[in-house]
């Protein structure tokens, strides 16, 4: 929680003035019983109408001043709390944006959403209540007790017994409820995760008629959350009745003691009323303090969850050359960073690399090459996985070359290309772009060189033009039209009434799968990248459109290095090199003709698709 308080530093004035005006309000509140006692003893007891009016006017004045102080305090407390929440939310969102794919995979999207919304809202309420009541309530409690001693010492001894008992109840309930609130927030994460999953996959659920099963799963998780909230709510609800019983018991004792002392003349009726008022004030403020503490418990639990995310160090830190190396021990996701000597022990021969790269270039050859990508025994093991998804990949992709990547589902095709823009860091080996390890490059500068079309086409709410400008904000009209032409998107964009100003729904829901894919390809082309990655992003295109797209890519004047991940041999048959992956390993590398002849896996894929295409053509 302390680390999060830095987001209040711009609201120092509000954090001082809010509690200060609350203290002023409490001073006027503590004065009211004394004025009431004087009005009873001197005005009512003495049948003096002038005294009654004077003290009555004074009470009204105290009420107005107290109200003004309260309003000012509420304003400053609310301003500080809302500003704190806004800054914290911004900082959390910025930090989440800096996390790697691996970090987000481990934490979970649903829990991040909960922290961004529910947890920060709870913290906002907690800060607001703390600024208003954490000083006022204890001040009223101890102030009332001190004022009671000024009125009558013997009667005030009742306060010294009641207040510690009340404090014990309040803080005892707080100690029990605080860990329970953390648990309920975790259960809320689960409910949110299930809700998000169901809403995302609603079409699949209906297609397989799984509504009842999903409703049952959601009902169980929701009931579990409800039971946990009811349990902690019942514990917190004990605060009010227990404190009321104790305060009313103290009130009975006070009335009994005061009545006896009034009879002997050592205590007046007005003083008795003042003592009762002070006891009532203590009761009200302790109830407020109890509710504040309950809310603060929730806020502290949420603060711990938020701080846990902010303390996650992004995996993409810039490292010095001597610190580079691989990570091994894939089992259970416990990676141990190894030294650079592990890479040297691999004894990668330049001759082998030249064979793999078709005789072009060599490993580690750094120059002014724009778009060169080199894999040196690259391996990737996801956190928690027992086996690497990609391992032992050695490849040199020269500028302007087209690299085809093919393999079965789960063979590691996407994992391999995700190492280039550093969506994930290698677990072992190195990946170099333009002769420099990607872990040594500025992340923003590295990704500026790369255009990637994801496997799942994602578009954002706005216009077609706005989505295309994601690739390059400074792109000209000619650049946008060229990207649309090459991606084969112009044919459907021109048919729309508003052209590039046509509206795109969130996720591109108002477009077909093929249209979404073509627009995401156009978005990547607008950047004019040095390296262009297609992560199986032409799967929704028919063969004719796919062929036109490949022909357009060959005509690009800036000649990017292209990585084409595909399930179709027709999409990669003209590539300079083709990698065939199986279980994360490169089992063959070469041109289309060589692989058809020498690689059984590639030949089977090609022949099956060739026969299928032939039948479809017939």
Do residues 210 and 284 both lie within one domain?
yes
Strands 402-407 and 503-504: unpaired
φ/ψ (deg, to 5) at 587: -95, -15
- Does 455 fall in a domain? no
What interhelical angle do 513-526 and 477-486 show, nearest 10? Answer: 130
Q: What is the CATH number of the domain that holds 604?
A: 3.40.50.300
Q: What is the CATH number of the domain that holds 123?
A: 1.20.1560.10
Residues 6+ apart with CB under 8 A from 225: 184, 187, 188, 190, 191
Do residues 268 and 357 both lie within one domain?
no
- Does 165 fall in a domain? yes
Nearest alpha-carbon partner for 67 in 38, 101, 102, 32: 32
Do residues 281 and 379 both lie within one domain?
no
pLDDT for 64 equals: 93
Do residues 284 and 330 both lie within one domain?
no
Last residue of a domain, one of 310, 345, 370: 310
Do residues 257 and 403 both lie within one domain?
no
φ/ψ (deg, to 5) at 135: -95, -40
- Does 488 fall in a domain? no
pTM above 0.75, yes or no: no
pLDDT for 42 equals: 83
Q: Rounded distance, CA 163 to CA 283, Å?
A: 9
Q: Which residues of the chain have pLDDT under 70?
A: 1-2, 315-369, 611-618
Last residue of a domain, one of 247, 276, 310: 310
Do residues 306 and 331 both lie within one domain?
no
pLDDT for 368 equals: 53
Nearest alpha-carbon partner for 560 in 583, 586, 526: 526
Do residues 219 and 356 both lie within one domain?
no
Residue 430 belongs to domain spanning: 323-449+529-617
Do residues 231 and 373 both lie within one domain?
no
In 3-state terms the chain splits into helix, strand, coil percentages (rounded to 5) of: 65, 10, 25
Pinpoint the alpha helices (H) of 487-599: 490-493, 513-526, 543-554, 569-572, 592-598
pLDDT for 432 equals: 93
Strands 561-565 and 402-407: parallel
Q: What is the dihedral of CA 131, 136, 137, 139, to 10 degrees?
A: 140
DSSP per position, 163-179: HHHHHHHHHHHHHHHHH
Q: Rounded distance, CA 314 to CA 449, Å?
A: 21
- Does 172 fall in a domain? yes
Last residue of a domain, one of 272, 289, 310: 310
Coil, helix or strand for 81?
Answer: helix
Nearest alpha-carbon partner for 92 in 343, 281, 391, 307: 307
- Does 220 fall in a domain? yes
Nearest alpha-carbon partner for 18 in 84, 62, 92, 63: 84
pLDDT for 502 equals: 92
Do residues 142 and 179 both lie within one domain?
yes
pLDDT for 173 equals: 78
Do residues 154 and 289 both lie within one domain?
yes
Instruction: Tell me how far CA of residue 120 lies from CA of 92, 303, 394, in angstroms.
Output: 10, 8, 46
- Output DSSP code: residue 564: E
Contact in structure between 396 and 362 (CB atoms under 8 Å): yes
Do residues 196 and 278 both lie within one domain?
yes
Pinpoint the alpha helices (H) of 347-388: 350-356
- Output DSSP code: residue 331: G
DSSP per position, 226-261: HHHHHHHHHHHHTHHHHHHHHHHHHHHHHHHHHHHH
Do residues 279 and 328 both lie within one domain?
no
For 551, the token pair is 């022909």
Q: Rounded distance, CA 52 to CA 36, Å?
A: 10
- Does 374 fall in a domain? yes
- Does 45 fall in a domain? no
Say how many domains are in the chain.
2
Coil, helix or strand for 385?
Answer: coil
- Residues 322-360: tens digit of each pLDDT: 444 444 445 444 433 443 334 344 333 333 443 443 433
Coil, helix or strand for 585?
Answer: strand
- Does 145 fall in a domain? yes
Q: Can you name the residues that pair with 404 across neighbouring β-strands?
A: 564, 578
């Amino acid at each position: 929680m302390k680390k999060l308080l830095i987001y209040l530093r711009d609201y120092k004035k509000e954090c001082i003035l809010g509690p200060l005006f609350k203290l002023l309000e409490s001073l006027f509140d503590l004065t009211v019983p004394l004025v009431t006692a004087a009005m009873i003893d001197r005005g009512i007891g003495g049948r003096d109408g002038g005294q009654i009016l004077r003290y009555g006017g004074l009470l009204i004045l105290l009420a107005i001043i107290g109200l003004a102080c309260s309003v000012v305090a509420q304003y400053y407390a609310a301003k500080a709390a809302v500003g704190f929440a806004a800054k914290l939310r911004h900082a959390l969102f910025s930090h989440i944006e800096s996390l790697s794919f691996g970090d987000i995979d481990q934490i979970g999207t649903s829990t991040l959403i909960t922290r961004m919304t529910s947890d920060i809202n709870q913290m906002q309420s907690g800060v607001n209540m703390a600024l208003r009541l954490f000083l006022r309530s204890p001040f009223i409690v101890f102030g009332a007790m001190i004022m009671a001693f000024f009125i009558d010492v013997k009667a005030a001894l009742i306060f010294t017994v009641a207040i510690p008992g009340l404090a014990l109840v309040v803080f005892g309930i707080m100690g029990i409820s605080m860990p329970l609130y953390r648990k309920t927030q975790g259960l809320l994460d689960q409910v949110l995760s299930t809700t998000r999953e169901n809403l995302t996959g609603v079409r699949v659920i209906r297609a397989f008629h799984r509504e009842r099963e999903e409703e049952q799963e959601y009902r169980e998780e929701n009931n579990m959350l409800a039971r946990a909230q009811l349990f902690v709510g019942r514990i917190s609800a004990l605060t009010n009745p227990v404190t009321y019983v104790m305060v009313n018991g103290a009130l009975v004792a006070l009335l009994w003691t005061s009545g006896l002392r009034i009879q002997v003349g050592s205590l007046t009726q007005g003083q008795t009323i003042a003592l009762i008022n002070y006891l009532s004030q203590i009761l009200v403020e302790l109830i407020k303090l109890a509710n504040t503490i309950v809310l603060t418990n929730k806020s502290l639990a949420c603060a711990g969850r938020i701080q846990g995310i902010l303390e996650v160090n992004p995996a993409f830190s810039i490292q010095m050359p001597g610190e580079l190396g691989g990570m091994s021990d894939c089992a259970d996701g416990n990676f141990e960073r190894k030294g650079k000597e592990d890479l040297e022990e691999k004894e990668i021969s330049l001759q082998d690399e030249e064979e793999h790269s078709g005789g072009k270039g060599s490993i580690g050859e750094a120059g002014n090459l724009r778009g060169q990508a080199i894999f040196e025994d690259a391996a990737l093991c996801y956190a928690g996985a027992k086996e690497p998804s990609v391992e032992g990949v050695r490849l040199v992709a020269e500028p302007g070359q087209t690299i085809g990547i093919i393999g079965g589902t789960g063979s590691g095709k996407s994992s391999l290309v995700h190492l280039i823009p550093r969506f994930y860091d290698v677990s072992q080996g190195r990946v170099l772009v333009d002769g420099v390890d990607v872990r040594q490059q500025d992340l923003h500068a590295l990704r500026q060189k790369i255009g990637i079309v994801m496997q799942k086409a994602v578009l954002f709410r706005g216009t077609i033009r706005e989505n295309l400008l994601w690739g390059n904000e400074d792109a000209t009209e000619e650049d946008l039209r060229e990207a649309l032409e090459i991606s084969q998107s112009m044919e459907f964009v021109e048919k729309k009434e508003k052209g590039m100003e046509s509206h795109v729904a969130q996720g591109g829901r108002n477009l077909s799968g093929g249209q979404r894919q073509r627009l995401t390809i156009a978005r990547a082309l607008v950047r004019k990248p040095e390296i262009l990655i297609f992560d199986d992003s032409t799967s929704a295109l028919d063969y004719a459109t796919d062929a036109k797209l490949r022909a357009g890519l060959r005509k690009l004047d800036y000649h990017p290095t292209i990585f084409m991940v595909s399930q179709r041999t027709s999409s990669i048959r003209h590539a300079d090199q083709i990698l065939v992956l199986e279980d994360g390993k490169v089992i063959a590398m070469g041109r289309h003709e060589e692989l058809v002849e020498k690689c059984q896996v590639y030949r089977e894929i090609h022949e099956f698709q060739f026969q299928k295409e032939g039948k479809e053509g017939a």
